[in-house]
Amino acid sequence: MSLSIILPVFNEVKSLEYVISSWSEYLNKEKIVHEFVICEDGSTDGTKELIKKLEKIFSISNQSVENRRGYGKGVISGINAAKYEFILCIDSDGQCMPDSFGEFYKNRNIADVLIGCRSPRKDPKIRIIYSRLFKLIHDYLFDSKIKDPSCPYVLAKKNVFINLIGKLSYMREGFWWGFVGAAKMYKLKFYEINIIHYERYDGSTVVYKFSKMPIIILRNIMGLIRLKRSF
């Protein structure tokens, strides 16, 4: 197995080195050929400088940009840049760590897409409540029956991701909701794996402010509807 790990990054100077070093140690121990595709998104906290340091130590493809492009566009740039057969997408905040990867590796050929289920999910309660309400809409539109369709711990072959790229621009923030919806419309087979979900490494979110969550949800509901109508 050869693996490209896509890491969307925005102002994660406190967690990024910990995440990469932990994953590198695990994958080297398991003798899995790998690279880290860092989709840095206009950070202002020293993350860019940290990445340059890490490039001297680890196998890194640096997809850095000067101005914000958003989570989804970052992931898409990483998909296009990935050079290995399998792609694993995780977040860079320390919540998705390698101790859950053994089941993914063992079952990597059992389905088109392997997706994590955060059990339990270590996010603020209000965000979990919003996600549960949003899932009702997602299930209605796509009949997905996926327990945790917004989980950012996803493994599939690169060609699976590439075939979906044309449908992945509808969601400005809720990229994985859109990914699961598009994959379901294409009738891809999913396999869910419970993962250990950790508290954020630095204890604070840098992307979604809770005061903005209602407008984000509304925007992404419209995105899901447009995605469904595109088929």
pLDDT tens readout for residues 144-203: 889 999 999 999 999 999 999 999 888 877 899 999 999 999 999 999 999 999 999 886
Per the DSSP assignment, residues forming a β-bridge with 7 are: 38
CATH number for the domain harbouring residue 65: 3.90.550.10
Beta-bridged to residue 89, according to DSSP, are 6, 154
E strand or H helix that includes residue 134: helix 125-142
Element (H, E) at 16: helix 16-29
Alpha helices (runs of H) in 30-117, residue ranges in sequence order: 47-54, 71-81, 101-106
Residue found under tokens 């840095």: 40
118-143 pLDDT, tens digit each: 989 999 888 888 889 999 999 999 99
- Count how many domains the chain has: 1
Q: Quick one: DSSP state of residue 63?
A: -
Domain that holds residue 30: 2-229
Backbone angles phi, psi at 171, to 5 degrees: -110, 115
* Residues 161, 86: Cα–Cα separation, whole Å: 10
pTM above 0.85, yes or no: yes
- Model pLDDT for residues 29-60, shown as the tens digit of each residue: 999 999 999 999 889 889 999 999 999 999 99
Tell me how far apart the alpha carbons of residues 182 and 165 are, in angstroms, rounded to a whole number. 9
Going by pLDDT thresholds of 50, 70 and 90, the confidence category of residue 204 is low
Bridge partners of 205, per DSSP, are none
At 205 the pLDDT is: 58
